[in-house]
Amino acid sequence: MTVQERYEDAKARYAALGIDTDRALEETAKIKISMHCWQGDDVVGFDQKGPLTGGIQTTGNYPYRATTPAQLMQDIDKVLTYIPGKHKLNLHASYAIFKDGEWVDRDQLKPEHFQAWVDFAKKRGLGLDFNPTFFSHPKADAQYGTLSCSDENIRQFWIRHGIASLKISEYLAEQTGQPCLMNIWIPDGCKDVPGDRTRARARLKDSLDQILATPYDHSKVYVAVESKVFGIGVESETVGSHEFYMNYAAKKGILCLIDTGHFHPTEVVADKLSAMLLFNDKLALHVSRPVRWDSDHVTLFNDDLRDLATEIVRTGWEHYFIGMDYFDASINRISAWTNGMRNMEKALLYAELLPNEKLADLQDAHNFTEIMSLNEEMKVMPFGDIWDYYCERNGVLKETDWFADCMQYEKDVLSKRA
């Protein structure tokens, strides 16, 4: 059977349940996912020589990490050949590309330092998102603090970095013709019981106020703040906690960013979306896969991801900035990147293929019996046939084919890198 024949067969089976598969394919294709640039080089970046800091960690020693802008771009291009649909690329300030001999510190970064990325994105029709980088820098120490630091020189340095990042984000939006999400995440926290929790939070609030006092085009740049439970070495308190940022964002009219790895392991992140959206028009996401902690494993096509995608689709995907945030250094990075991205896309398509209206009506009718059975029935529908067809019609390799091609790339390109 050809992929097309398998699709026609599956389409009839979904149609019998009142589900229009053609519509699902079209809807899914409209949703943009922001692919993080940092899976390709273990979050190292190009502007500093030091290690990854900030209480986050990549683990593993798989060879062939991209070490230059050219290699990273080459790898991104390879990954994009496996991802159906048109998406965005998510950059960190630490991925600035300097011309020969030039270097500026983070507080002096300018749009021109991202020109190579702009050219890259424009050529491929990609949107761009941006993140100021408040870690992996001599002035960034999680316990000492960045935007919440009591040392005014350090704090002002990072405020200038935030302002510089706003201008860069605006440039990225102008150049690509697509809105840019600028997400602020800082590592600030305490390893042990702090002597005080209030002052650092008050300083963080003031720092954000100073950054946001810079005029920027609100129709082009959406600013988000990302909360967290804890980081490595700062286990006892996180200055930018969920309560801090949820209130801050509400007050200032900016976005909350929910990272699926930044809550207690038994918290159901998917459940948060419908609540948040009743009070916000837009919400940003970092999709990761925490294993016991914020471990940033590659996202899999599992219940958590399907539940998240289902809530995105049911509440209206146009309200979301969906970004990926995982970094595994123990496996081939092209395959890590690809699996995570494809799984997000898969989960969105899966959610579009659910009888969402019917399930909502059953909920209102208190028919919990049928909800359970219908949910279980959906799990054995021929979803794989629809997914393969979706890949084929978007010109990317289907599920059984991309991995061999990826291994060929390792042999032909990655393994030849010095």
286 contributes a contact to Zn ion by CB under 5 A = yes
Of 141, 259, 311, 328, which residue is the catalytic one?
259
56 contributes a contact to ligand RNT by CB under 6 A = yes
Report which of 30, 9, 24, 8 is spatially closest to residue 351, judged by C-alpha positions: 24
Q: Are strands 189-190 and 237-238 parallel, antiparallel or unpaired?
A: antiparallel
- Tell me whether residue 226 is one of the annotated catalytic residues: yes
Minimum distance of Zn ion from residue 168's CB (angstroms): 19
Identified binder of Zn ion from the candidate list 41, 42, 259, 304, rule CB under 5 A: 259
Beta strands in 196-270 (DSSP E): 221-226, 237-238, 255-259
Minimum distance of ligand RNT from residue 184's CB (angstroms): 10
Token digits of residue 222: 């959406």
Identified binder of ligand RNT from the candidate list 11, 155, 286, 333, rule CB under 6 A: 286
Of 228, 242, 297, 346, which residue is the catalytic one?
228
- Give the DSSP letter string of 273-304: HHHHHTT-S-EEEEE-EEESEEEEEPP-SSHH
Mark 17-46 with x for binding to ligand RNT (rule: CB under 6 A) and - for no binding.
Answer: ---------------------x----x---
Residue with smaller CB distance to ligand RNT, 75 or 294 = 294
* CA–CA separation, 76 and 36 (whole Å): 10
Minimum distance of ligand RNT from residue 141's CB (angstroms): 15
For residues 247 and 286, the answer to whether their CB atoms sit within 8 Å is no
**Other C-beta atoms lying within 10 Å of the C-beta of residue 142:** 24
Report which of 91, 113, 82 is spatially closest to residue 36, judged by C-alpha positions: 91
Identified binder of ligand RNT from the candidate list 47, 170, 259, 304, rule CB under 6 A: 259
In the region spanning residues 310 to 339, those forming contacts with Zn ion, defined by CB under 5 A, are 325
- Tell me whether residue 259 is one of the annotated catalytic residues: yes
186 contributes a contact to ligand RNT by CB under 6 A = no
Of 242, 272, 286, 346, which residue is the catalytic one?
286
Alpha carbon separation from 128 to 174, 198, 320, 336 (Å, rounded): 10, 35, 15, 21
Of 226, 311, 352, 410, which residue is the catalytic one?
226
Minimum distance of ligand RNT from residue 287's CB (angstroms): 11
* CA–CA separation, 158 and 84 (whole Å): 38
* CA–CA separation, 214 and 224 (whole Å): 15
* CA–CA separation, 382 and 373 (whole Å): 17
Minimum distance of ligand RNT from residue 271's CB (angstroms): 20
* CA–CA separation, 273 and 283 (whole Å): 8
Residue 294 interface partner, choices Zn ion, ligand RNT, none, CB cut-off 5-8 Å depending on type: ligand RNT
131 contributes a contact to ligand RNT by CB under 6 A = yes
- Contact residues toward Zn ion (CB under 5 A) are 259, 286, 325
Contact residues for ligand RNT (CB under 6 A)?
38, 43, 56, 131, 185, 226, 228, 259, 286, 294, 325
Indicate which residues carry an active-site annotation: 185, 226, 228, 259, 262, 286, 294, 296, 325
